[in-house]
């Protein structure tokens, strides 16, 4: 326990020294993103995407993929996209919210619009689970139509699920920080729908009131990295700063809270002093990337920047000429050899 506490304090000290907090948290965000990539063993983002993330497509890599789509348009998603479609079509994903999350990644890539629509129709509102409405609304906001639901309908439905304290929860009447922040993320593009803007303001007031003195947040009675990450992600989706949202200490205090969960390896712990947790690490990575996207004027990380069906695998574009080259060179060589062989035979026959 003492070693674990010492490691956490050392990580905090190093991060505080090496990553000074600016007004918008930019230096700290960039440093933590780099640390997570190093923890994940990413020699390059492309090798990480083609390797570990493709291997985990549909099985936990989606937060990372969404972050990379928005933050690095130079990446080639060919292998990841094919693996994600295969996993989604396999029927092995049973959780409806996970299906919708995978559909959202495809939508952000501009891939497989029909599969995205089928997934939306099959999974939105499944068993009336709150998170299926949340992720379903993300897809509706992304420009995909559902057979029985519109973005306005689902936004209204989420307003009806709001607790008396101004937030949301999966069960019960006491709102949860994570669930409230995630619901606001989906509602963000729908502020013109009657009642949504007021509900968002109320949720922000609730979250500001729930902020701990150290800048962090609790879920189910325990301070954790994911809660702070979801609040940061929410701000990026809303396009407002921590100060504008009413959070004490602005970004500086919010980032201070996140840094405390960073391990020396670059990964993030769920709870202070705990082991590195993959879910916490991936959610922090997404939140930091969303913050950078918002700071760079890219808007919500969940809104596509490409048209449905616009995704073209590199194998059909950039890599295709090489396939032709590999096939054509041997063919050409054989043709040349046959030509000279026949020519030689012709000359030999003429001499006779």
**Maximum Cα interatomic distance, the chain, rounded to a whole number of Å:** 105
- With tokens 């699920």, the residue in question is 161
Instruction: Determine how many CB atoms are found less than 10 A away from the CB of residue 140.
Output: 23
Q: Which CATH class is domain 2-316?
A: mainly alpha
Q: Are 116 and 311 in contact (CB under 8 A)?
A: no
Instruction: Determine how many CB atoms are found less than 10 A away from the CB of residue 86.
Output: 12
Residues 198, 100: Cα–Cα separation, whole Å = 27
**The model's pTM:** 0.83
HSE (CB half, 13 Å, CA atoms) of 59? 12
Of the listed ranges 35-39, 242-246, 261-265, 296-300, the least confidently predicted one is 296-300
Name the helix (H) or strand (E) containing 225. helix 225-238
Residues 28, 10: Cα–Cα separation, whole Å = 16
Of the listed ranges 1-15, 42-56, 217-231, the least confidently predicted one is 1-15
Q: pLDDT-based confidence at 27, cuts 50/70/90? A: confident
Label residues 88-126 b or e (16+ Cβ within 10 Å = b): beeeebeebbbbbbbbbbbbbbbbbbebbbbbbbebbbb
Give percent of the chain with pLDDT exceeding 90: 80
Of the listed ranges 66-70, 271-275, 329-333, the least confidently predicted one is 329-333
HSE (CB half, 13 Å, CA atoms) of 82? 10
**pLDDT tens, 175-213?**
999 999 999 999 999 999 999 999 999 999 999 999 999
**pLDDT tens, 281-325?**
999 999 999 999 999 999 999 999 999 999 999 965 444 333 333
pLDDT average, residue stretch 46-63: 98
Q: pLDDT-based confidence at 22, cuts 50/70/90? A: very low
Q: Are 135 and 100 in contact (CB under 8 A)?
A: yes
For residues 347 and 38, the model is more confident at 38
Residues 144, 138: Cα–Cα separation, whole Å = 9
Each domain of the chain, given as residue ranges in start order, spans 2-316, 319-352
Q: pLDDT-based confidence at 328, cuts 50/70/90? A: very low
Q: pLDDT-based confidence at 18, cuts 50/70/90? A: very low
Give percent of the chain with pLDDT exceeding 70: 82
CA distances from 104 to 63, 97, 98, 188, 297 (A): 11, 10, 10, 16, 21
3-state secondary structure of 84: helix
């Amino acid at each position: 326990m003492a070693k674990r506490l010492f490691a956490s304090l050392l990580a905090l000290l190093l991060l505080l020294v090496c990553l000074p907090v600016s007004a918008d948290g930019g230096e700290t965000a960039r440093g933590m993103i780099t640390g997570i990539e190093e923890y994940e063993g990413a020699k390059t983002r492309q090798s990480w995407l083609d390797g570990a993330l493709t291997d985990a497509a549909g099985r936990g890599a989606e937060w990372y993929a969404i972050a990379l789509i928005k933050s690095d348009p130079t990446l080639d998603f060919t292998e990841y996209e094919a693996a994600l479609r295969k996993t989604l079509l396999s029927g092995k994903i049973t959780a409806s919210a996970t299906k919708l999350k995978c559909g959202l990644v495809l939508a952000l890539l501009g891939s497989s619009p029909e599969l995205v629509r089928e997934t939306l129709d099959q999974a939105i509102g499944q068993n009336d689970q709150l998170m299926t409405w949340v992720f379903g609304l993300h897809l509706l906001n992304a420009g995909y139509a559902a057979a029985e639901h519109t973005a306005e309908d689902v936004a209204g439905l989420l307003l009806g699920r709001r607790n008396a304290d101004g937030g949301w929860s999966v069960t019960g009447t006491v709102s949860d920080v994570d669930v409230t922040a995630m619901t606001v993320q989906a509602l963000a593009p729908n502020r013109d729908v009657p009642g949504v803007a007021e509900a968002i303001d109320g949720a922000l007031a609730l979250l500001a009131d729930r902020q701990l003195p150290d800048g962090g947040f609790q879920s189910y009675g325990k301070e954790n990295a994911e809660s702070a990450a979801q609040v940061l992600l929410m701000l990026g989706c809303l396009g407002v700063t921590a100060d504008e949202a009413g959070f004490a200490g602005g970004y500086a205090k919010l980032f201070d809270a996140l840094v405390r969960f960073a391990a020396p390896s670059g990964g993030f712990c769920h709870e202070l002093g705990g082991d590195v947790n993959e879910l916490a690490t991936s959610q922090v990575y997404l939140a930091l990337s969303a913050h950078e996207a918002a700071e760079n004027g890219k808007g919500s990380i969940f809104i596509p920047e490409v048209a449905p069906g616009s995704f073209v695998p590199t194998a059909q574009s950039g890599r295709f000429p090489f396939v032709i080259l590999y096939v054509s060179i041997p063919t050409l060589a054989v043709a040349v050899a046959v030509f000279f062989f026949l020519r030689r035979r012709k000359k030999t026959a003429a001499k006779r």
